[in-house]
Every structure is written in C-alpha cells, then in structure tokens.
Amino acid sequence: MKFVDMSSDVGLRMDVEEFVVAVERKDLVFYSLESVAAQIEEYEVIADGVVNSLAANKPLIDTFPGRERAHYWAGMWTNAFYGFTVAMIFLALLTIILRVRGGM
C-alpha cells in the first residue's frame, strides 16, 4: 500500500492503489503487503502445477513443451503390459489344467 499525503495540516492521505482518501489516525498501523503478495503469487503457480499434475491433459510445472499427455500414454502402456502379462499367466494356468485333466 502506497500513500500520498494530501494535506499534512488536516492529516488527509490517499491510497494510490485504491484511490481512497481518508483521515490519518494514530491508532492504526499500516503495513505493506507487497512482499507477501509476491510470495502468494509464487505459491499459486506451484499450486496450479500440483493440480495440473493430477490431470492427464494438463502441462506439468517444469516439463518440455508437448508433454501434456505423458501421464495418459504412460498409463496406457503400463496397463497394456500388465494386461498382457496377466492374460499370459491365465492362459498358461489354463493350459496346465487342461493337460493335467487330459483334455488335450
């Protein structure tokens, strides 16, 4: 918050950002929150990155361009690999059971 003294005799001050004119009082303490606002903006960028990391089609914080759907394709390939592995184990067990029972 930045203030401009409009009249030092009467004690009028104007807030430059809000364009509010008010009487200066001795019981109020003014503190500039510009440094806090800068930290909040930095934390908002990090929070947006965390939220984007949960979505499959959003870019991550520090990734190369064009990597928006990396999580999606990694999940597809992982699921395909595990699906194929489980299917092969199931077919091997089925073949063993049919051989033992004499079905083939």
Q: Are 60 and 48 in contact (CB under 8 A)?
A: no
What proportion of the chain, given as a percentage, has pLDDT over 70?
85
Q: Are 40 and 55 in contact (CB under 8 A)?
A: no
Q: Are 62 and 46 in contact (CB under 8 A)?
A: no
Higher pLDDT, 2 or 80: 80
Locus of tokens 């500039």: 32
Confidence of residue 28 (pLDDT cuts 50, 70, 90): low
Query: What pTM value is reported for the model?
Result: 0.44
pLDDT tens string 48-79: 888 877 776 676 777 777 777 777 888 899 99
pLDDT the model gives residue 103: 62
Average pLDDT over residues 24-45: 80
- CA 70 to chain CA centroid, Å, is 16
